[in-house]
């Protein structure tokens, strides 16, 4: 997860918590619900970033394995 992604998710989560708390204090159910939605969006951003990281790690592993296999083939041919 990039630093930018972490910052965006943390900011969205903080905004949601503040909004939900303000809604709770004022009795504004709509505001509270909107804050909770923002917190859910932040969680989704974190999940998406984690999946992106896992996909990149998988791709890197495949590239390394392919490179290693190619090197072994070249060694056998020499």
- Estimate to the nearest angstrom the gap between the alpha carbon of 71 and the chain centroid: 34
Task: Report the distance separating Cα 45 and Cα 32, nearest Å.
Answer: 20
Look at the chain and report how many structural domains it folds into. 1
Residue 37 has pLDDT above 70, yes or no: yes
Each residue's pLDDT tens digit, 42-70: 999 999 988 999 999 999 999 999 999 99
State the average pLDDT for the chain.
94
Model confidence pTM above 0.95:
no
Q: Tell which residue, 50, 52, 11, 16, has the closest CA to residue 33.
A: 16
Q: Tell which residue, 51, 54, 49, 38, has the closest CA to residue 6.
A: 49
Domain span including residue 51 = 3-77
Task: Report the distance separating Cα 23 and Cα 29, nearest Å.
Answer: 6
How many other C-beta atoms lie within 10 A of the C-beta of residue 42? 20
pLDDT for position 1: 65
């Amino acid at each position: 997860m990039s630093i930018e992604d972490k910052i965006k998710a943390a900011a969205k989560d903080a905004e949601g918590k503040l909004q939900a708390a303000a809604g709770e204090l004022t009795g504004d159910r709509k505001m509270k619900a909107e804050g909770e939605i923002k917190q859910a969006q932040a969680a989704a951003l974190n999940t998406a970033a984690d999946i992106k990281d896992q996909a990149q790690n998988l791709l890197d592993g495949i590239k390394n394995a392919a490179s290693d296999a190619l090197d072994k083939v070249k060694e056998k041919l020499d």
